[in-house]
């Protein structure tokens, strides 16, 4: 069991917010982020896309320096994302130069997701805290201990974990433990996904430009190989998309983790700012032991505005996430939507990358 919130030694987890712009950085800091994580475009290889693209990155080192100053003036740290894989010699020099420029800009830590990049950092002799990205797919104490031996000060766990597993890892690790709490995520294979970049040629343009173009979110026709009459059509059997954890915050705090990480470096500024503000408010209410107010705020959020800056019924948390049991750490498998979605929500789900 995790610690009780009545214990004086319970740790208040940091909120780590994503950004892709200087303005976004300022907004999430003002909204209550404890740390702001970001990547920066590498001029010679800015279109080198594996996990994320240029839209998820700050466009210049000049903006990074301004962000670091703004953050440090407010005692906020800036971890830098350098979690791409080292897959070709041609990218080594640009990556080395990039890391050096970012270190010179004053970033506080490096989020690394590949042993090749780690080896480059070691060869450069850089003395800076290292955080193991979720792309290391850490899911047990053995994995975390291995990363600790490699010199990582913090480990970001995979999404498809149970609260009991998180508690065990956090209680036996020297490294700080972070978990993701909000934003798009798969509860199946996430960091080891080999389908992410494949787009079926037969998809419509609308499907191809939405998140439904990823194979795991598409509907499939299923048939029993021993009984041809036993079949299902248009079943999203691989779809384990999860999004939110506002209801589970007390349980997650009791695990003893050190950080709550919000997903969304490709998101808009309003998403980054409003999500940070909501989690800041809820976590503070819990630590102020205002649980009735926390519960009341949950119902407002689930039935109301989905963290948007203006009230709307277009995209309710309760309809698309809560009633479908698609929240973080609610289980290892969340298959097809159990309750039919309204036309408005279905449309929003299919065109989820449209900026509001």
pLDDT tens, N- to C-terminus, the chain (356 residues): 445 566 557 889 999 999 999 999 999 999 999 999 999 999 877 666 565 667 789 999 999 999 999 999 999 999 999 988 887 888 899 999 999 999 999 999 999 999 999 999 999 999 999 999 998 989 999 999 999 999 999 999 988 888 999 999 999 999 999 999 998 776 566 666 666 655 566 666 655 555 455 666 667 788 888 988 888 877 766 666 778 899 999 999 999 999 999 998 988 898 899 999 999 999 999 999 999 999 999 998 888 766 665 555 556 777 777 877 778 887 654 555 666 555 555 555 544 433 33
SS3 332: coil
What CATH number did the domain enclosing 284 receive? 3.20.20.70
Residue 318 lies in a domain: no
> Both 263 and 345 in a single domain?
no
Give the three-class secondary structure for 14: strand
State how far the Cα of 247 lies from the Cα of 22, in Å rounded to an integer: 31
Tell me whether residue 93 is in a domain. Answer: yes
Q: Is residue 218 part of a domain?
A: yes
Range of the domain at 21: 14-191+241-308
Domains contained in the chain, number? 2
Structural domain includes residue 153: yes
Q: Are residues 105 and 212 in the same domain?
A: no
Whether 86 and 230 share a structural domain: no
Residue 248 shares a structural domain with residue 282:
yes
pLDDT tens for each residue of 290-347: 999 999 999 988 887 666 655 555 567 777 778 777 788 876 545 556 665 555 555 5
Are residues 334 and 240 in contact, defined by beta-carbon separation less than 8 angstroms?
yes
**pTM of the model as a whole:** 0.85
Query: Crossing angle of helices 163-172/141-149, nearest 10°?
Result: 40
* Strand 35-37 relative to strand 79-82, pairing: unpaired
User: Does 223 share its domain with 271?
Assistant: no
Asked if residue 7 belongs to a domain, the reply is no
Task: Give yes or no: residues 208 and 76 share one domain.
Answer: no
For residue 40, the 8-state DSSP code is B
In terms of domains, do 168 and 132 share one?
yes
Q: Among positive and negative, which fits the CA dihedral 186, 192, 193, 196?
A: positive
Burial class (CB in 10 A: 0-12, 13-18, 19+), 262: buried
Identify the H or E element spanning 208: helix 205-208
Residues 93 and 223 in one domain: no
Helices (H), 32-162: 61-72, 92-105, 115-124, 141-149
């Amino acid at each position: 069991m995790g610690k009780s919130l009545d214990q004086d030694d319970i740790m208040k987890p940091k909120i780590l917010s994503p950004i892709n712009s200087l303005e976004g950085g300022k907004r999430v800091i003002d909204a209550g982020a404890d740390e702001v994580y970001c990547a920066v475009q590498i001029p010679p290889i800015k279109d080198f896309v594996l996990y994320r693209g240029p839209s998820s990155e700050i466009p210049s080192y000049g903006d990074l320096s301004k962000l670091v100053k703004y953050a440090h003036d407010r005692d906020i740290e800036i971890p830098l994302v350098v979690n791409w894989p080292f897959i070709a010699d041609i990218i080594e020099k640009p990556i080395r130069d990039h890391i050096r420029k970012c270190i010179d800009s004053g970033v506080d830590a490096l989020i690394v997701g590949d042993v090749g990049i780690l080896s480059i950092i070691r060869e450069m002799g850089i003395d800076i805290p290292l955080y193991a990205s979720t792309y290391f797919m850490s899911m047990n104490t053995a994995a975390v201990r291995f990363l600790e031996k490699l010199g990582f000060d913090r480990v970001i766990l995979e999404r498809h974990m149970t609260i009991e597993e998180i508690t065990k890892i956090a209680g036996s690790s020297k490294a700080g433990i972070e978990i993701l709490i909000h934003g798009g995520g798969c509860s199946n294979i996430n960091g080891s996904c080999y389908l992410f970049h494949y787009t079926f040629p037969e998809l419509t343009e609308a499907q191809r430009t939405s998140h439904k173009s990823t194979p795991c979110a598409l509907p499939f026709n299923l048939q029993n190989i021993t009984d041809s009459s036993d079949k299902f059509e248009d079943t999203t059997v691989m779809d384990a998309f999860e999004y939110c954890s506002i209801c589970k915050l007390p349980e997650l705090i009791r695990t003893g983790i050190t950080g709550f990480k919000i997903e969304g470096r490709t998101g808009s500024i309003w998403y980054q700012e409003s999500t940070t503000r909501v989690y800041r408010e809820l976590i503070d209410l819990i630590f102020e032991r205002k649980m009735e107010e926390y519960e009341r705020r949950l119902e407002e959020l689930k039935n109301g505005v989905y963290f948007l800056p203006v009230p709307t019924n277009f995209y309710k948390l309760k309809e698309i996430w809560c009633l479908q049991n698609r929240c973080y750490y609610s289980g290892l498998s969340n298959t097809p939507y159990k309750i039919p979605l309204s036309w408005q929500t279905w449309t929003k789900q299919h065109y989820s990358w449209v900026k509001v």
